Amino acid sequence: MDVLKNFKSIDNNVQRISNSLSLKKPTIIAVSKSFNINQILPIIDIGHEHFGENKVQEAKFKWKDIVIKNSNIKLHMLGKLQSNKADEAINIFNYIHSLDSEKLAMKLCEAEKKFNKRLKYFIQVNISEEPQKSGIQKNEIFQFLKYSKIELKLDIIGLMCLPKINENPTEYFVKLHTMAQELNLKELSMGMSHDYIEAIKSSSSFIRIGSAIFGERV
């Protein structure tokens, strides 16, 4: 697996699509979960800054020494975050894409004050209204945003979603884009290896690319 070749191919494709639509090129988050640092180093060495992880402990172990040497690196928490991991998450990550409950928002607010650190957050929206998925329900998003941003003073920059599997994702991406505009939020975290093209067309600003860069996980 030529990770660097894959990354450059994705990067060029994202740039080409963005240019053709006269859109700002979205930030590529290289989703490095379950891959060791040696597999990731080729992308770090060419100056890529944004990497995504799904588990707090894995990220802590993997990136501890790397971020000391590469202070420009930005780590994104993409997976479900338990509220009892808030302190650790604040000290590891720069972005959290899975803010999905008032309890978690409160714990993150307390951890920010405790460690004097500010993160950027995406509210995860259950855009497909699936009971097994995490995320704020669509009819509760305004109140949750008010609580998180106004009361807790969290830096909420946008919305994130996971479309329903095996369905055309465009419908869900368009809904999230519209919701973000209505809430005056500028950033969108949507699109993965299999649907990032549709996400770009729906004005995604952060795309989360894993298997298309690193290969399938084992």
What pLDDT, on a 0 to 100 scale, did the predictor assign at position 160? 98
- pLDDT tens digits along 63-110: 999 999 999 999 999 999 999 999 999 999 999 999 999 999 999 999
Residue with tokens 């298997």: 211
Percent of the chain at pLDDT exceeding 70: 99
* Average pLDDT score over the chain: 95
Percent of the chain at pLDDT exceeding 90: 91
- pLDDT tens digits along 122-137: 999 999 888 888 999 9
**pLDDT over 70 (residue 17):** yes
For residue 116, the domain's CATH number is 3.20.20.10
Residue 2 vs residues 49, 192, 205: alpha-carbon distances, Å: 19, 19, 26
6 touches 184 (CB < 8 A): no
What pLDDT, on a 0 to 100 scale, did the predictor assign at position 112? 98
- pLDDT tens digits along 144-169: 999 999 999 999 999 999 999 888 99
What pLDDT, on a 0 to 100 scale, did the predictor assign at position 218? 60
What pLDDT, on a 0 to 100 scale, did the predictor assign at position 95? 98
- Strand-pair category, 74-77 with 120-124: unpaired
Domain that holds residue 154: 3-214
Q: What is the mean pLDDT of residues 158-181?
A: 95
Vertex 99: Cα angle to 107 and 169 (nearest 5): 170
What pLDDT, on a 0 to 100 scale, did the predictor assign at position 216? 82
126 touches 140 (CB < 8 A): no
**What tokens does 94 get?**
């720069």
**pLDDT over 80 (residue 1):** no
How many domains would you assign to the chain? 1
| Tally of CA atoms within 13 A in the half-sphere of 47 that contains its CB | 1
